[in-house]
Every structure is written in C-alpha cells, then in structure tokens.
C-alpha cells in the first residue's frame, strides 16, 4: 500500500470515472442516469444521489475536471486541487460507516454527488502531490489507448489501463512476435 486505503479507493474511483470517456470502442460509459447510479453504488458513495439528468451533467463535468489532472505537472496540479477543494467547500472530517474503518470525507453528508467526487478526488490527489508521487499518474502505454491510470504497484511497473484490455493485448502481441521470431521446430522423419 502506497497511500491510506480511502485515498487509494478515491484514486481508483477517479481513474474509473475518467476512463468512462476513454474507451477504445468510443462508448461513453457515463452517458445515462443509470450509469451514474451504477458508479455511485459500486463505489459506495454516501453523497446525495438525485438520479436525474442534472446530476448526470454535473458528474460528467466533474469527470472532465478530474481528467485534466493527468495533463498537468505536479505544481499546476496543486493549484487546481486547491481550487477544487475551495469550490466544493471542503471541510474534512473522520467518519466510519458500513464496512469501512475510519476514513476522511471532505463534504457535508448530503452534498451533491459531483461535489463529493471533486472534493474526495482532490483530497486523494493532494496526498499524491504532497508525497511527491505525482509521477504515478500515467496514461496507458498502448498505442491506440488514451486511458489513464495510477500506478500503485511497489515497483512502479504498471504500464497499461484496466478499461480496454491493453495489457492482455500487449502480452499476446509480444508472445506472437516471439513465436514468429523463434526457430522452426525440426520434424524428425
């Protein structure tokens, strides 16, 4: 573990949300109210969830703001994160609920989902910035993929996203290249 569990969870949720718009098949996986509901449920958010098109638009706007963090350097990110925290009215507090032990929330319990997404992502990314680990924010190395990832591996070896199956495709291509270059097996008569 590189960061606290709630930080890693917020980062993973942010990566998934950003990648809803970065699929190779062109499908936007955050296009409907149901998509927002599935995301909200899967990540166990406790924010207000309105389940309407206004919320969908706000979540998609939050997604774009969060995605921009992969396009800036650490110093610029710090300023952006401060703005996100201020706009969201961040007031961090410790809480424990469901199966989660003590962790930080940054907004009032019934804040809109988009605000919670921005503030919790900003708090998590603030840990990344202040730990001098901003280089862990990366883009997938597959030639035909623009998805984002955060490399939380110990040896910093993660290269591919989870959303488009890029690691599997790269491994298959490498295997085929090795096989194509391997000497042919001699057949005995």
Task: In whole angstroms, give the CA distance from residue 172 to residue 175.
Answer: 5
Task: In whole angstroms, give the CA distance from residue 154 to residue 163.
Answer: 21
Q: What is the pLDDT of residues 102-113, one digit of tens each?
A: 888 899 888 999
Task: In whole angstroms, give the CA distance from residue 35 to residue 29.
Answer: 7
Q: What is the pLDDT of residues 91-142, one digit of tens each?
A: 998 988 888 888 888 998 889 999 999 999 999 999 999 999 999 999 999 8
Q: Considering the entire predicted model, what is its pTM?
A: 0.85
SS3 content of the chain, % helix, strand, coil (to 5): 50, 10, 40
Task: In whole angstroms, give the CA distance from residue 170 to residue 158.
Answer: 13
What is the token pair recorded at 35?
A: 């998509």
Residue 174 has pLDDT above 80, yes or no: no
Residue 184 has pLDDT above 70, yes or no: no
């Amino acid at each position: 573990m590189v960061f606290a569990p709630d930080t890693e969870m917020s980062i993973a949720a942010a990566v998934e949300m950003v990648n809803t718009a970065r699929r190779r098949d062109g499908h936007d996986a955050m296009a409907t109210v149901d998509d927002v509901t599935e995301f909200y449920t899967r990540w166990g958010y406790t924010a207000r969830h309105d389940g309407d098109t206004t919320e969908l638009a706000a979540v998609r706007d939050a997604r774009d703001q969060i995605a921009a963090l992969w396009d800036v350097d650490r110093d610029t990110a710090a300023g952006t994160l401060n703005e996100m925290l201020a706009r969201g009215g961040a007031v961090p507090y410790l809480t424990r609920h469901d199966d989660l032990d003590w962790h930080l929330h940054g907004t009032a319990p019934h804040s809109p989902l988009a605000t919670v997404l921005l503030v919790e992502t900003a708090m998590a990314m603030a840990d990344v910035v202040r730990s001098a680990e901003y280089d862990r924010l990366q883009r997938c190395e597959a030639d035909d993929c623009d998805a984002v990832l955060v490399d939380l591996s110990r040896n910093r070896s993660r290269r591919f996203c989870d959303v488009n199956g890029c690691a599997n495709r790269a491994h298959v291509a490498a295997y085929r290249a090795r096989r194509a270059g391997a000497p042919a097996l001699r057949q005995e008569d």
